[in-house]
């Protein structure tokens, strides 16, 4: 199910709402904060890799808050900001290297590792719906950049893990996993609007929240969904329950945070939490192995 985004907070030209920037960690899967024009000027439109990026005000300047893809190569990068006259200006920043751990998971349900033709058709439909949700954009003067954790429990899988299912390489882990009992509450980490819900082959029962300016969060494997598209939610409001739907090895919540259509480490937006995996420049971590039922 999907609705058109109706949550609109208009940015007034020349009015800068002070905003605390998230923890900047310019690595693949991290966040770059790039200083732009003075906040006395109208807010610019900024773009990175063809996608519009969040722009907020802090310390009398506009700043671009840029999600960096896990696949991004370290080194020099540029974003473009468009001013009032429509003239683009390039801003340079540097992406540092970061090594992520490997994780090996064993699933007894082979269908979840090697889907058949009908399952692949469903997966393709799921991918379209997920991309549409992550592509949502609503103007917001002050998008939330500090999140609470959406569930209470142990961090069972970190962001960015290089994943192998039954020794077959798959996409890196695009969020964090919080292990919690089935039926435990899942709550909104910040105010937002429910942009889409659905039941997907890999992700199971899923909720997407739009927090404004391309900041989208996703909640997977839910036992129950307790919100509907179009609903506005407040921080701490229950949106579902921890479950075991989709491709799982046990009851947990998978939480993805997407910024400019890019999955980033959710812990960068969670005060007091250390970023996932290895610090930049460090060597690889030992492999992690989970058996079905873990």
Q: Where residue 196 sits, what CATH number does that domain have?
A: 2.70.70.10
State the Cα–Cα distance between residues 291 and 271, nearest whole angstrom.
32
62 part of a folded domain: no
224 part of a folded domain: yes
Long-range Cβ contact pairs of 204-207 (< 8 A, separation 24 or more)? 204/243, 204/244, 204/245, 204/246, 204/247, 204/248, 205/240, 205/243, 205/245, 205/246, 207/239, 207/240
Domain total of the chain: 1
* pLDDT tens by residue, 152-209: 999 998 999 988 888 878 789 999 999 999 999 999 999 999 999 999 999 999 999 9
User: Which 8-state DSSP code applies to residue 29?
Assistant: T
User: Which 8-state DSSP code applies to residue 127?
Assistant: H
Segments of the chain scoring below 70 in pLDDT: 1-19, 274, 276-294
Write down the pLDDT at residue 167: 80
241 part of a folded domain: yes
136 part of a folded domain: yes
Alpha-carbon torsion 277, 280, 286, 287, what sign? positive
- The pTM score is 0.85
* pLDDT tens by residue, 33-46: 999 999 999 999 99
SS (H, E, C) the chain: CECCCCCCCCCCCCCCCECCCCCCECCCCCEEEEEEEECCCCCCEEEECCEEEEEEEECCEEEEEEECCCCCCCEEEEEEEECCCCCEEEEEEEECCCCCCEEEECCCCHHHCCCCHHHHHHHHHHHHHHHHHHCCCCCCCCCCCCCCCCCCCEEEECCCCEEEECCEECCCCCCEEEECCCCCEEECCCCEEEEEEEEECCCEEEEEEECCCCEEEEEEEEEEECCCCCCEECCCCEEEEEECCCCCCCCEEEEEEEECCEEECHHHHCCCCCCCCCCCCCCCCCCEEECCCC
User: Which 8-state DSSP code applies to residue 268?
Assistant: G
180 part of a folded domain: yes
277 part of a folded domain: yes
94 part of a folded domain: no
26 part of a folded domain: no
Q: Which domain holds residue 278?
A: 102-290
CA 118 to chain CA mean position, Å: 28
Write down the pLDDT at residue 274: 67
């Amino acid at each position: 199910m999907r609705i058109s985004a109706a949550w609109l907070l208009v940015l007034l030209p020349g009015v800068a709402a002070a905003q605390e920037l998230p923890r900047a960690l310019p690595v693949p899967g991290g966040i770059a904060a790039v200083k732009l024009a003075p906040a006395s000027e109208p807010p610019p439109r900024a773009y990175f890799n063809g996608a519009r990026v969040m722009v907020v005000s802090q310390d009398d300047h506009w700043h671009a808050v840029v999600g960096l893809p896990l696949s991004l190569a370290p080194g020099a990068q540029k974003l473009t900001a468009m001013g009032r006259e429509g003239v683009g200006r390039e801003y340079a920043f540097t992406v540092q290297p970061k090594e992520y751990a490997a994780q090996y998971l064993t699933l007894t349900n082979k269908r979840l590792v090697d889907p058949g033709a009908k399952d692949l058709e469903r997966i393709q439909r799921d991918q379209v719906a997920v991309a549409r949700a992550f592509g949502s954009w609503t103007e917001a003067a002050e998008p939330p950049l500090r999140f609470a954790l959406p569930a209470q429990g142990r961090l069972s899988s970190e962001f960015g893990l290089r994943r192998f299912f039954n020794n077959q390489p798959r996409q890196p882990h695009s969020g964090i996993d919080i292990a919690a009992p089935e039926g435990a509450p899942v709550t909104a980490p910040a105010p937002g609007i429910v942009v889409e819900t659905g039941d997907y082959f890999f992700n199971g029962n899923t909720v997407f929240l739009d927090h404004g300016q391309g900041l989208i969060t996703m909640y997977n494997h839910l036992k129950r969904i307790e919100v509907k598209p179009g609903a506005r939610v407040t921080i701490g409001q229950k949106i579902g329950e921890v479950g075991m739907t989709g491709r799982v090895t046990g009851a947990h919540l998978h939480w993805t945070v997407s910024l400019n259509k890019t999955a980033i480490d959710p812990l960068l937006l969670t005060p007091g939490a250390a970023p996932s995996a290895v610090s930049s420049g460090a060597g690889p971590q030992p492999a992690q192995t989970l058996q079905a039922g873990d």
